[in-house]
Chains A and B, each alone.
Chain A
Amino acid sequence: MLPFYVLERYEGNEALFNLVLMSIVSTYAGEPLHVHAEGLRGTGKTTIMRSARGILPPIERIKGCIYNCDPYDPHCPQHRYLSQEEIEAIGTEMIPMPFLEISHSAKVGTVAGSIDLARLTDPNHPEAHMLPGLIPQAHRGILFIDEINRLADTSPEITDILLDVMGNKPGHLQIEEAGLPAVEIIVNVSVWAASNPDEDPGPLEEIRRQLSDRFDMVCYMGRPHSVDILSNMLAENSHQKKTRLYKQRKVVQVDESKNEAYRQQIVRWAEQYDKTELPDFLRNFIARLYIKHNLESIRAIEAMQQGAVLRSLIKNRDKVQIGDVTETIPLVLKHRVDGDTLVRIINDLDTRGSKEGILSFKNRKDKKKEEEEPEYFQHDARSLKDLSRGELINTEKNLTPTDY
């Protein structure tokens, strides 16, 4: 697999590179950002997502905790009631931020958790214990699901689990195993998904609308159109280049220093994220957008706020700008509203200048209305109370002057 920094960037996939970075930063800071990449085959959506594994920063956990307990905020059944001293006694360790993958043929036990076979069959000390599945093990990291539309189609049970995990930040997970007490646990994972809406069984929103809505942002991938980019992509992927690199053996080192640079950058951004507030005027703007266009999903505008802040960070700006919000709008709304509404919202923004400047909704139509309305009626009508019985009902005939 090609490392993240080598991958070719072009207009159609740039948004996904940004989203991947934004989601890692947010996850590292403790707030998941669920991302869904949709596109045809050959748009490189899974390649980009999988290669991001190489730039994930390390996280600290209680030594050996399979639930990735944060030493300062332990949550697993084993550690959550321990004192700080007890935790110190166990010790901590650094591990790479988890990146786990659910395939579309996964079973509930593998995903949520099931009985730990190794311990059950331990010849010396057999024990009945729960083994957390992929989701709890991905706590504080990324859970990647390729072909999520197929998973949603074939496995409603796993879909229900995902709905719970993605329903809140942090999410919830219940692990059940007959004969053992159920374990209820919080999980903070960012779900990354990829799908091809044009292949069976069709787009996720038609299969399970709720699950589609759980994604904070959806990125519609385009294919490269430029000859240069395509030939670069071919060169990077050629057998000859791979063999040459393999022989030189130097590549690993170069690779790591560049990945390391990314990791450090991500940690810095995450520190910044804790401190960056969305300016009031932008928050206000998002709120008005919600009301004016009658958006149904609060999740959508929350994602807009989260996305705008993260976007300003990865663009290395010290302040969130209006552009950070407007660029986020299609990513947040395209899977939630119909095309006409989206275009109306996008075109409704009247932003002048790229800096935070004059910011207003276009109000052409309303202005026109106001201009002509006051004179459409005369406002001198008498009320029903003041009318006699004979004056109450008027038909078209008796209202129309005969000499007219």
Chain B
Amino acid sequence: MAWMEKSKVDKAASVGNYLGLYLGQGQGVRLGESTVVSCHAHGRMPEKRVKGQIKIFTNRDAGKCFLDFVDEGQVVHIDVFHRPGEIEPIELAKAIFWALNQYFIVKDPQLQYAEDERFKITADYATRIFVTTGMGKGTVYNLMQEKVEAFGQTDEGYDHVHILAQLQKEEYYLVYVIAEVVEEFILNNELKLARVRNITHGNQKMEEESYAGYMRLPWKKLKGQNARQLPDKENVNQLIIKLAEKFGGVEEIEEFMENYSTNILKRKGIEQQKKKWGDIENDLEQLEELGILRDTMFGKVLTKQGQALKDFVLTNKCELETEIRRNIRKMPSGGKGRYKKLGKSESKMSSVELTNRNRTINNPDKNWSGNLAVPETIIQAKKNSFLRGDDHLVIKKDDLHYYDKKTYVPVDICFLIDASGSMAGDKRQAACFLAEHLLLSGKEKVAVVMFQERTSQVVVPFTRKQSVLKKGLATINPAGLTPLASGIMTAVDLIKNTRVKNPLLVLITDGLPNTPLWTMDAKADALEAASKIPEANISFICIGIEAYRQYLEKVAEKANGVLYVVDDLNKDNLINIVRTEKKQLQNARQ
């Protein structure tokens, strides 16, 4: 027995060392014959028809994609593969817990007598180990208390036990302990261990959204004579929402569909479309699968159903636009965004005070300068007089009621959008979506300045009108160079010359400046321009990508602002950042 235990400690230590080496290099390994360990997401490779192989997606960090971690490399991903079957997560969690607990005794016999201490150590690990089986999921800690989260459609686990453990490098030896007990548990459940033949490393092609698979459009004849009419309105609406997310709005959807009309003169080439909307191949494929488009000698054209969809869009424009706006207003789901914040925002904000006639305040403790609420005051006085037993109405200081005040910190936002060539497509769309989202979900004005080639211009002056915003955004056609200095100056001038409240300048860029304004040095000019931002009392944030972090940090510093580094300039990231920043500004007043 002692010998077995000794061997287990040795094995675990050796595994810990190897994992430290390989995981540190961004590699994954097969542990034993059924378990794959890495810091990334795993998947199988049906496309190659090589069975029993697991691919380690080196571009998808496990902590980030499963647990919404911001930093990479925090989480070890352990998959133990088995023949499909039911694994009870609560029992499994208990097994893991006791295996760890037991192991600590073996490793450090002192702990045998310090039961509380040992239990505390194990419980701490239990909160950092997350288990999913085909029957449910949760941290070991929660599962021990029978708190099971339901197994969702998108979860992994029906043919493997999926474990995420937040471990430091020095703790990697525990991976062995965990894998060993999970295997034992599987075997005790009369299930067999699957053999992972091979592992490979590579990128996961980001699964483009595929919606054709689950949508049903009404214009297709349903199979089966008795098929009940489905509430197809929802399907059509959802399809339009999808297309609007991609193309921008009802008008753009019409414009897009025009390219597939039978009237060849109205059609624009795919390259031209891509410039505006980014990669559209996925959508074309989806629409084809849905029976909206079909291939002909003259390229893709709308089918009869496609025509019906187009007509539907025309007759229901108003309702669809409402639905689209509703979708734009929505807060992005999926928890925290994937970004890093560098620097600290400190701004003095001024607030607007409004009288709230819905609410009155009695006997305020501070000096009160608000409006006296006469009816409430008299009623209060009458009541108190009565309760005191006065024989006539007496109004005392305690009876005074005032109307409540609401304070509100408006933040008018100017977007400074990089419209150089590299921003074409999805990044442009995301920036435009962000501007619309802020206009529709807030009460403040929004403006847009873009910079490209050699100059910059105001495409949307400060406005509250969605139509004005949309019209301006439609003129953004990314191309050419990155004249950041010019962009900053145009934005600063616009803000100075407009009556705005607590202005916030949001710079969105995926590159570095390469067109100077005053000197021969584009970067130095942009820094010089950035220094004008705090002089004009403008708050500033920059949203950029990791590769240019060093320089952008300097820009943010000069501007007395904050830099956000994102892994991707997608709309969820952008919205999360700007909303968070806006909220912080609003709370920072005084």
Instruction: List A residues at the B interface (Cβ < 8 Å).
Output: 40, 105-108, 114-115, 117, 120-121, 126, 128, 154-155, 157-158, 177-179, 197-198, 200-203, 206, 222-223, 225, 291-294, 323, 326-327, 329-330, 334, 338-340, 342-344, 346-347, 349, 351-354, 369-370, 372-385, 387, 389, 391-396, 399-400
Q: Are the C-beta atoms of A379 and B152 separated by less than 8 Å?
A: no
Q: Which residues of A contact B179 (CB under 8 A)?
A: 384
Q: Are the C-beta atoms of B228 and A392 separated by less than 8 Å?
A: no
| Known A198-B322, A353-B226, A377-B194: A294·B234 in contact at CB below 8 Å | no
Q: Are the C-beta atoms of A384 and B18 separated by less than 8 Å?
A: no
B342 within 8 A of A: no
Nearest chain B residue, comparing its CB with the CB of A294: B152
Among B10, B199, B333, max chain A CB count under 10 A is at B199
Q: Which residues of A contact B284 (CB under 8 A)?
A: none
Expressed in whole angstroms, the Cα–Cα distance for A393 and B200 within the complex equals 15
B329 within 8 A of A: yes
Q: Which residues of A contact B356 (CB under 8 A)?
A: 154
Q: Which residues of A contact B28 (CB under 8 A)?
A: 396
6 A–B pairs (Cβ distance < 8 Å), ordered by A: A40-B322, A294-B152, A327-B231, A376-B52, A378-B194, A385-B184
Expressed in whole angstroms, the Cα–Cα distance for A157 and B224 within the complex equals 54
Q: Which residues of B contact A292 (CB under 8 A)?
A: 153
B436 within 8 A of A: no
Q: Which residues of A contact B187 (CB under 8 A)?
A: 383
Q: Are the C-beta atoms of A343 and B329 separated by less than 8 Å?
A: no
The stretch from B209-217, B295-303, B482-490 touching chain A is B209-217
B130 within 8 A of A: no
Q: Are the C-beta atoms of B33 and A198 separated by less than 8 Å?
A: no
| 8 cross-chain pairs, A with B, having the tightest CB-CB distances, nearest first | A377-B194, A381-B33, A379-B192, A381-B195, A381-B193, A384-B32, A394-B30, A381-B34
The stretch from B235-243, B253-261, B267-275, B444-452 touching chain A is B235-243
Expressed in whole angstroms, the Cα–Cα distance for A346 and B32 within the complex equals 44
Nearest chain A residue, comparing its CB with the CB of B358: A155
Q: Are the C-beta atoms of B150 and A294 separated by less than 8 Å?
A: yes
Mask, B172-197, CB within 8 Å of A = 1, is: 00001001100110010000111111
Q: Which residues of A contact B81 (CB under 8 A)?
A: 377, 381
| Known A339-B234, A347-B216, A383-B183: A378·B52 in contact at CB below 8 Å | yes
Shortest B49–chain A CB gap in Å is: 10
Contact of B319 among A40, A338, A354, A393 (CB under 8 A): A40
Interface residues on B, range: 35 or more
Nearest chain B residue, comparing its CB with the CB of A291: B150
Expressed in whole angstroms, the Cα–Cα distance for A372 and B82 within the complex equals 15
| Known A223-B318, A381-B193, A396-B198: A203·B329 in contact at CB below 8 Å | yes
Expressed in whole angstroms, the Cα–Cα distance for A394 and B32 within the complex equals 8
Q: Are the C-beta atoms of B387 and A347 separated by less than 8 Å?
A: no
Expressed in whole angstroms, the Cα–Cα distance for A121 and B194 within the complex equals 85
Shortest A357–chain B CB gap in Å is: 9
Q: Are the C-beta atoms of A384 and B31 separated by less than 8 Å?
A: yes
Q: Are the C-beta atoms of A202 and B318 separated by less than 8 Å?
A: no
Contact of A347 among B11, B214, B241 (CB under 8 A): B214
- Chain B residues 141-186 with CB under 8 Å of chain A are 150, 152-153, 158-159, 176, 179-180, 183-184
Q: Which residues of B contact A383 (CB under 8 A)?
A: 32, 34, 180, 183-184, 187, 193
Expressed in whole angstroms, the Cα–Cα distance for A347 and B10 within the complex equals 54
Q: Are the C-beta atoms of A343 and B322 separated by less than 8 Å?
A: no
Q: Are the C-beta atoms of B30 and A293 separated by less than 8 Å?
A: no
Nearest chain A residue, comparing its CB with the CB of B155: A294
Expressed in whole angstroms, the Cα–Cα distance for A158 and B356 within the complex equals 13
Q: Are the C-beta atoms of B195 and A222 separated by less than 8 Å?
A: no
B441 within 8 A of A: yes
Q: Which residues of B contact A392 (CB under 8 A)?
A: 11, 14-15, 18, 31-32, 176
Expressed in whole angstroms, the Cα–Cα distance for A253 and B10 within the complex equals 95
